[in-house]
Amino acid sequence: MALRLLTTLLSLSAFATAWEAPQYGGFSRVWQETFPGAAGTLPNEGTWTILNGDLGVNNELQVYKRDPRNVQISGGNTLQLVPWRDGSQPKGWTSGRMESKYTFTPEAGRVTRVEAAIMFGPSPTGNKQGIWPAYWMLGNSIRQGTVWPACGELDIMETVNGQLIGHGTVHCNVYPGGICNEGNGIGSSIGFPDQGWHTWRLEIDRRSGNYLDQSINWYLDGVHFHQVTGSRIGNAQVWASLAQSPLFFILNVAVGGDWPGSPNGNTWDGYGSRMEVGYVAHYVG
């Protein structure tokens, strides 16, 4: 209990300096979202849609709430997505999910870079069973009625159960099976040293005019750990759904579900199990 109180207090403390997405040589920063504002307020709803309800996917347990208890500005220029046990909910949990109203299409002949600075709450791994934070993108066509996974999905970072392992994955084509072996997708993973601040990046390289020579690449703190090429997908329409069509960002913390499994009696809710975000940015090089 003392540790949980301490993590709550720490989560409310302000950082000394404001976040700003970095500038990189050879790249122009096209868009960034930072998270200034008063502690305990909702983020900018001109930029983000804050979900409110049960999506009914992956056998997850949480109901997403448009509530600053679950989705809040920290007061330290960051965003916090916080899962809570809640006996008033049908499956016992609430959490936060945001989807960007901002969309972008990776430019032909260029490299598109997207990244975010992310940290996780300090609850020990043994107290995070069932906690599933993610930073990812969906093809905007899903908003016009294209079904998943034909819309395309690019998971920039997922981690489950407090494990210090980040997963990068593409989902595409049809379910089950298909080009992307659904429901597994085409993925790879990388270990990271601690739950503190790290930069998770994805680059879509469309410099070649031939889609077979284009690629999608994943990085942790600048270290490359996964690649999917157009030649591996081998279908121009499916590749277009991933690398040549409008995309939008998603930040969320799911609870339970088919991949992590359900929380147990040792799972801590609250700030110690949060995902915290310093910025999200889009660049073109």
| Contact yes or no for 239/217 (Cβ under 8 A) | no
Number of domains in the chain: 1
Rounded to whole angstroms, how far apart are CA atoms 227 and 202? Answer: 10
Please state whether 39 falls in left (phi above 0), alpha (psi between -120 and 50) or beta: beta
Closest C-alpha to 113, from 239, 207, 202, 224: 202
Rounded to whole angstroms, how far apart are CA atoms 109 and 214? Answer: 10
Q: Which residues contact 177 (CB under 8 A, 6 or more apart)?
A: none
* Burial class of residue 91, CB neighbours in 10 A (0-12, 13-18, 19+): middle
User: Residue 62: what are its φ and ψ, rounded to 5°?
Assistant: -75, 150
User: Residue 117: what are its φ and ψ, rounded to 5°?
Assistant: -95, 125
Pairing of strands 97-104, 247-255: antiparallel
What's the pLDDT at 19? 85
What's the pLDDT at 17? 52
Amino acid, single-letter form, for residue 216? I
Q: Which residues contact 201 (CB under 8 A, 6 or more apart)?
A: 113, 114, 115, 156, 218, 219, 220, 222
Residue 124 lies in a domain: yes
Rounded to whole angstroms, how far apart are CA atoms 209 and 109? Answer: 7
Residue 163 lies in a domain: yes
Residue range(s) defining the domain that contains residue 110: 2-6+31-284
Residue 60 lies in a domain: yes
* Long-range CB contacts for residues 69-72, cutoff 8 Å, separation at least 24: 69/94, 70/94, 70/95, 70/96, 71/42, 71/43, 71/96, 71/97, 71/98, 72/39, 72/40, 72/41, 72/42, 72/43
| End-to-end CA gap in the chain | 48
Residue 26 lies in a domain: no
Q: Which two tokens stand for residue 140?
A: 């905007």
Residue 132, domain CATH:
2.60.120.200
Rounded to whole angstroms, how far apart are CA atoms 252 and 55? Answer: 12
Q: What is the pLDDT of residues 167-202, one digit of tens each?
A: 999 999 999 999 999 999 999 999 999 999 999 999
What's the pLDDT at 223? 98
Residue 15 lies in a domain: no
Residue 21 lies in a domain: no
Residue 16 lies in a domain: no
Q: Per DSSP, what are the bridge partners of residue 256? A: 60
pLDDT tens sequence for the chain (285 residues): 344 433 333 333 334 356 899 999 999 999 999 999 999 999 999 999 999 999 999 999 999 999 999 999 999 999 999 999 999 999 999 999 999 999 999 999 999 999 999 999 999 999 999 999 999 999 999 999 999 999 999 999 999 999 999 999 999 999 999 999 999 999 999 999 999 999 999 999 999 999 999 999 999 999 999 999 999 999 999 999 999 999 999 999 999 999 999 999 999 999 999 999 999 999 999
Rounded to whole angstroms, how far apart are CA atoms 280 and 34? Answer: 7
Residue 112 lies in a domain: yes
